[in-house]
Chains A and B, each alone.
Chain A
Amino acid sequence: MQMPEPNQAIISQRDALAQGLRQIVGKDWVISDDAQRRPYQCDGITAYMAMPLLVVLPGCAAEVQAVLRFCNERGVKIVPRGSGTSLSGGALPLEDGVLLVTSRLCNVLEVDAHNRVARVQPGVPNIKITEAVSHLGLCYMPDPSSQLISTIGGNVAENAGGVHCLKYGVTANHILGIQAVLMTGEMVELGGAYLGAAEGELDLMGVLTGSEGLLAVVTEIAVRLEPVPEVARVISMSFPSVEEACACVGAIIGVGVIPAGLEFMDRKVLDAVSVLIKEKFDDRTAALLLCELDGTAVEVDALVGVVSDVARAQGAIELKVSTTEEERQRIWSSRKLAFSAIGKLCPDYYCTDGTIPRNKLPEVLNKMADMSKKYGLDYANCFHAGDGNLHPIIMYDAAKPGDLEKAEEFGADVLIACVDAGGVLSGEHGIGVEKRDLMTHQFTEIDLQQQQMVKCAFDPKDLLNPGKMFPTLCRCAEFGRMHVHNGNLRFADIPRF
């Protein structure tokens, strides 16, 4: 993975830039010391590291504006970062760029229970929104597994998902309004303050959601609040084969049930987990599905019956239904511990993220078995089956030369298989740097050009998080005069990295 060549002229101005930025955010909130910059070298992917030019932690939206204006005037790049939990390298720093960290912007500004909206700053961890409104019987639904610490600003940037997004939708479905700062320092308000307020306006908020920090820095978000479902129960379903488990996923959705969550774990994951939870899974089980149903008590009871019937018809050998909240938590604990359990089996693992149509699950899972043989690396599967969002866990040893590269190639092959099966490169982790070079597999050049023109409209100097998402840098000036004829690009020679 290559990043754009750092601009040495910018790097040489580091001290002067630090000086200027200190005048904006205060001396304590610009980090220029070598030792202190190092912990910011990576986000949730430690395989990619770069030393940020400077780390800046603004304390309010006005400071964000001033920092962006300052950097825009001097041609300094900006990489926005929340808690640094991205699994696609979205917050990977640039050696010639300022890392703009939102962790100090961590206040829930307003809760409007009547309209079920909360106005929050971007550095608020996802779970803190729910904690701030739980006394009202409300919650913020999207629940990425990093929700304890991943910030809502980062969730917006990556359009984060989570177990519950099958039924309730992803981040984009829960954002009502955004206040954001463009690279020029100009502040924009997109969307509305409550549900329906933005009707009739061009959905620029939709453009910003999932834009991975390439278009603007979000400084305030109005999120939708939902009532906490009265009851939730989970069914654990064992299947003697992966195929039958996959078929059951389609069958459940097919009968018209949209579970709150529908998760898949293969035998390897179950074996790893059983060590941690000290519980044995039936020897005949090759794959396990966890299906959560929520709503009113009457509704959930009825749905439990429907799903149980479907599962039996699809060949489930064992069904366990939670009857108490403790049981529900216990059944879920196997899924929640899956990744750390796998972590105990191998020195390192690499988890990627692609999405496929549900009916292609068996086909892609079988291909993965072949790839594992090809690369000589073990793998396990634990993923959001309901929406076909795969998270293959590829095991490797970073200390072994060449192992990481093999794991990356294995991951890339899986993603290519996803796209070939009619799916997409990402379900919820984003493209970042991790999947950047595969974008050409999913999109034609002209698709990418069109997307980059949107980028240029927001950030013509290409200073916001460059090197992420698109396999080529934007050449906005060139786009301006570009005429694309029959898909033949005039600037086909623009270097790739």
Chain B
Amino acid sequence: MLSHIPQAALDADPNVQLAKDIIGNCVHCGVCLSRCPTYAVKHEENDSPRGRIFLMKDMYEKGGVPDARTVEHLDRCLTCLACEAICPSGVEYSKLIAHGREYVEEHYKRPLFQRAVRELLVRLIPNARLFRLAIFGGRLGRPFRSLFSGTLRAMLDMVPTTPLPAPSPVDRPQTFLPAPEGGRAVKPRKRVALLNGCVQTVLDTAINEATIRLLQRHGVEVVVAAGSGCCGAPAEHMGDEAQALPLVKANIDAWLREADGPDGLDAIVINTSGCGTSIKAYGHALRLDPAWADKAARVSAMARDITEFMVEIGLQKPTIPTGLRVVYHSACSMQHGQRIVNQPKDLLRAAGFSVLDVPEGYLCCGSAGTYNLLQPDIANELKARKLKNIRSVQAQIAASGNIGCMTQLAGEVGLPFVHTVELLDWATGGPEPAAIQGQKLAAE
């Protein structure tokens, strides 16, 4: 699509030139509408990828302060990237919306409440201690939830009702050697860094524990690198580059220190697909910074989802015959952001599970990072649709590779909801996942 962005704007900002090029690839065919969750809910062009591309084109053409309507529709995008995955013309919507949001944050002054909420989330989520404190506060506020509406109510609703697990010892910086065989130490087949994440270390410590056990059992040495932490995605999704970049750079430094150390690194393993998508885009995010571009590109090239990595090294034969029916919910960041579609299902099958797909599996569950807090109405509608679809396939267990979706869905799905690695760990000799223990699973 032809755009008429002023030359001065193109010259001033390479990201605007990039936006022009991306917009130029869009032929307005409309195929993206068929996969867009907000279009599925709203049925309105402005709430579709094609509509948002048009809105961004106008925003850049006009320059200056974007209007409130444009911001509203860009805010409603879940960044699920189903549109990018289906686009026949290869339009890189993820980059377009990321820079579009940065432009909005630079030029548009949000109402005070919105600003306060965004500021709070950007500071809270990456910091495990603050996040824990916030949940504690949320518990106190929860009885009064009916007094609130919108985002505040959504936040109170998100506060877990079950006790939080204690911080796990595995989440402290350290190195895990491969599991010994026959009482003898094993020479590592591979050495990887594990991103232990931010929210995950507070809400569900079992995921990192299972990942580490699984990798150790497969002869892999695992490092939780000192200085690594939140991937920066929460801030980046809100267009807040200033908050995101220090986190990104801290991770790059932490992992390259390991990679360039005596033992080196074969991969950076990520077990939260939302973070994986973000880390794989570090190279793009810092491409214009000469001091960081190469380093960021190296980190992105080493990033692997745990299921990609397990397929590369091969899964051991299962030690327990489960045959359980697992419905696999593919997170958007997994299937669209990273285009990892078959690996998790192949691994689950290899581990002895019978795998079922979710109908309308391409649709987002509404979690989308902090989206469920910022846009609770659309998020709740998508959640209800996803729950209905998951329940429709008569599974015994639900699995996914992203903590965000698990938090969004686990409470109401009516099935034990676990991370894919917990099942792989269990099937190859690890403990039964806590969510399944003592549960009466649906009939065979």
Contact = CB atoms under 8 A, between A and B. Distances in A.
B85 to A, nearest CB: 13
Contact of B45 (A45, A84, A150, A399): A84
A334 interface: no
A104 B43 contact: yes
Interface residues on A, range: 35 or more
A39 B29 contact: no
Contacts of A39: 45-46, 50-51, 54-55
Given A38-B54, A148-B86, A340-B90, 9 more contacts: A39-B55, A40-B45, A41-B54, A44-B27, A57-B43, A104-B43, A149-B33, A343-B25, A348-B2
A337 B69 CA distance: 35
A43 B54 CA distance: 12
B70 A35 contact: yes
Q: What is the predominant secondary structure among interface residues of chain A facing chain B?
A: loop
Nearest to A87: B29
A108 to B, nearest CB: 14
Interface in A330-345: 337, 339-340, 343-344
Contacts of A146: 29-31
B341 to A, nearest CB: 15
B89 interface: yes
Contacts of A36: 46, 69, 73
A42 B30 CA distance: 11
A343 B27 CA distance: 9
Interface in B18-50: 24-25, 27-31, 33-34, 43-46, 50
Interface residues of B, number: 28
A124 to B, nearest CB: 11
A399 B2 contact: yes
Contacts of A38: 54-55, 58
A315 to B, nearest CB: 33
A45 B31 CA distance: 14
Given A39-B46, A57-B44, A343-B25, A84 B54 contact: no
B67 interface: yes
Tell which of A35, A36, A84, A85 has the most Cβ of chain B within 10 Å.
A35
A197 interface: no
A103 B51 CA distance: 14
B88 A340 contact: yes
A222 to B, nearest CB: 22
7 closest pairs, A vs B, by CB? A39-B54, A39-B51, A148-B34, A340-B88, A103-B43, A149-B34, A398-B2
Contacts of B69: 33, 35-36
A428 B50 CA distance: 24
B29 A85 contact: yes
A347 interface: yes
A454 B3 CA distance: 40
A36 B67 CA distance: 10
Given A149-B30, A343-B25, A35 B67 contact: yes
A35 B88 contact: no
A83 interface: yes
Most interface-central of A44, A85, A340, A348 (chain B CB within 10 A): A340
B45 A35 contact: no
B33 A35 contact: no
A84 B2 contact: no
A46 B55 contact: no
A146 B31 CA distance: 7
A141 B43 CA distance: 25
Contacts of B45: 39-40, 84, 101, 103
Contacts of B29: 44, 85, 146
B130 interface: no
Nearest to B33: A149
B31 A149 contact: yes
B441 interface: no
A125 interface: yes
A44 B88 contact: no
A127 B35 CA distance: 12
A33 B44 CA distance: 14
Contacts, number: 75
B30 A150 contact: yes
A93 to B, nearest CB: 12
9 contacts: A31-B44, A31-B46, A36-B46, A39-B54, A44-B29, A103-B44, A148-B34, A149-B31, A340-B88
Interface string A33-69: 1011011111111100000000001000000000000
B117 interface: no
B27 A84 contact: no
B50 to A, nearest CB: 7
A106 B43 contact: yes
Contacts of A148: 31, 34, 86
B90 A83 contact: no
B60 to A, nearest CB: 13
A123 interface: yes
Nearest to A105: B43
Contacts of A127: 34
Contacts of A44: 27-30
B1 interface: yes
Given A39-B51, A148-B34, A46 B43 contact: no
A344 B33 contact: no
Nearest to B24: A347
A340 B46 contact: no
Nearest to A343: B89
A84 B34 CA distance: 12
A125 B34 contact: yes
Interface string B1-24: 110000000000000000000001
Contacts of B34: 125, 127, 148-149
A339 B27 CA distance: 11
B360 to A, nearest CB: 9
Contacts of B33: 83, 149
A85 B70 CA distance: 23
Interface string A370-414: 000000000000000000000000000011000000000000000
B131 to A, nearest CB: 36
B30 A85 contact: yes
A398 B25 CA distance: 12
A55 to B, nearest CB: 8
A398 B26 CA distance: 13
Contacts of B58: 35, 38
Contact of A337 (B27, B44, B70, B88): B88
Interface in B69-90: 69-70, 73, 86, 88-90
Interface in B280-301: none
A373 to B, nearest CB: 26
Interface string B326-347: 0000000000000000000000
Interface string A163-188: 00000000000000000000000000
Given A40-B45, A57-B44, A46 B28 contact: yes
B141 to A, nearest CB: 31
Contacts of B1: 46
A38 B70 CA distance: 11
Contacts of B67: 35
Contacts of A33: 69
B81 to A, nearest CB: 17
A256 B378 CA distance: 54
A210 to B, nearest CB: 21
B30 A46 contact: no
A40 B33 CA distance: 13
Chain B CB within 10 A, most for which of A46, A57, A101: A46
Contacts of A40: 45
Contact of A340 (B30, B54, B89): B89
Contact of B30 (A84, A101, A123): A84
Interface string A115-133: 0000000010101000000
Nearest to A83: B30
A30 to B, nearest CB: 12
A125 B39 CA distance: 12
Contacts of A347: 24
Contacts of B51: 39
